[in-house]
Amino acid sequence: MSKELKNTFYGNAQPLMIAVDCIIFGFDKEGLKLLLFKRKIDPFKDKWSLIGSFVDQEENISETGHRILKEYTGLTNVFLEELGCYGKQDRDPAARVISIAHFALIRLNEQQLKLVESYEAHWFGIDEIPDLILDHNKMIAAALEKLRLKARYQPIGFELLPKKFTIPQLKKFYDAIYQKKHDRRNFRKKILDMDILKKLTEKDKTTSRKGAFLYQFDKRKYNKLVKKGFNFTF
């Protein structure tokens, strides 16, 4: 259908600006982290902020999210999910902008940590998030809430942990999400009973003398489990 014809149908509608803001979670030995940026434009120039971009005419919403992630982290194929729409009329004093917040989960490594500095960005621990512009703190609170909820019925550790990880590492992740120390034995049993982990012969010796066995998710078994339906209740 031609652009000219298109425009005839909804002639009375008022177009609005629409943006995507990304809540980018990462995880490493120190715990759960969040990537924040020094804002480059007015208003609120140089304040801490989530990273975002306006949605282009020719772009699907999720493409906007992936474009942002590619640009600022260099990563493609990132786990990215819609969080919700932030559309209060007065949320941005500079203009009526509707933001579709998305959250992303990425694996942290040294390369990542360095790359990010070129953008005046910083990985903040989840308990040390500063005051952000607009409603960005609210978005983050909602993202954490959703992460918790999601973790109940989907092993999202997949996305945040390295490909090979130890059970104590996995436990640390859930401890961080739920802000609660889980029992080592019960945690291990429950996870292993799910039968979605493959034990490797290698050990990770970076955190103890004895070393902890590395595991991998077994995608096939995991998918079967998801279909069947299950719920974590950590």
Return the active site residues: 120
Q: Give burial (CB, 10 Å; 0-12/13-18/19+) of 155.
A: buried
Among 1, 127, 163, 220, binds a copy of itself (CB under 8 A): 1
Among 4, 57, 118, 210, binds a copy of itself (CB under 8 A): 57
Q: How far is the CB of 206 from DNA (least distance, A)?
A: 9
15 binds a copy of itself (CB under 8 A): yes
Three-point CA angle 53, 150, 19, nearest 5°: 10
Taking alpha carbons only, the member of 165, 168, 164, 197 closest to residue 181 is 168
Among 60, 109, 179, 186, binds DNA (CB under 7 A): 186
Taking alpha carbons only, the member of 78, 132, 58 closest to residue 68 is 78
Q: How far is the CB of 30 from a copy of itself (least distance, A)?
A: 28
Return the exposure string of 50-63: e unless at least 16 CB atoms fall within 10 Å of the residue's CB, then b.
Answer: bbbbebeeeeeeee
226 binds a copy of itself (CB under 8 A): no
10 binds a copy of itself (CB under 8 A): yes
Q: Which residues pair with 51 in a beta bridge?
A: 22
Distance (Å, whole) CA 234 – CA 173: 12
| Binding footprint of DNA, residue count (CB under 7 A) | 19
- Please say which residue, 41 or 185, places its beta carbon nearer to a copy of itself: 41
Taking alpha carbons only, the member of 48, 32, 181 closest to residue 108 is 32
Among 114, 210, 220, 228, binds DNA (CB under 7 A): 210
Q: Which residues pair with 199 in a beta bridge?
A: 215
Among 138, 181, 184, 224, binds DNA (CB under 7 A): 184
Q: Which helix (DSSP H) or strand (DSSP E) does residue 67 occupy?
A: helix 61-73
| Binding footprint of a copy of itself, residue count (CB under 8 A) | 40
Residue 205 contact, options a copy of itself, DNA, none, Cβ 5-8 Å cut-off depending on partner type: DNA
Phi/psi of residue 39, nearest 5 degrees: -65, 140
Measured torsion, CA atoms of residues 51, 55, 59, 65, in degrees rounded to the nearest 10? 20
233 binds DNA (CB under 7 A): yes
Among 47, 75, 79, 84, binds a copy of itself (CB under 8 A): 84
Footprint on this chain of a copy of itself (rule: CB under 8 A):
1, 6-7, 9-10, 12-19, 41-43, 54-62, 82, 84-85, 87-89, 93-98, 100, 231, 233
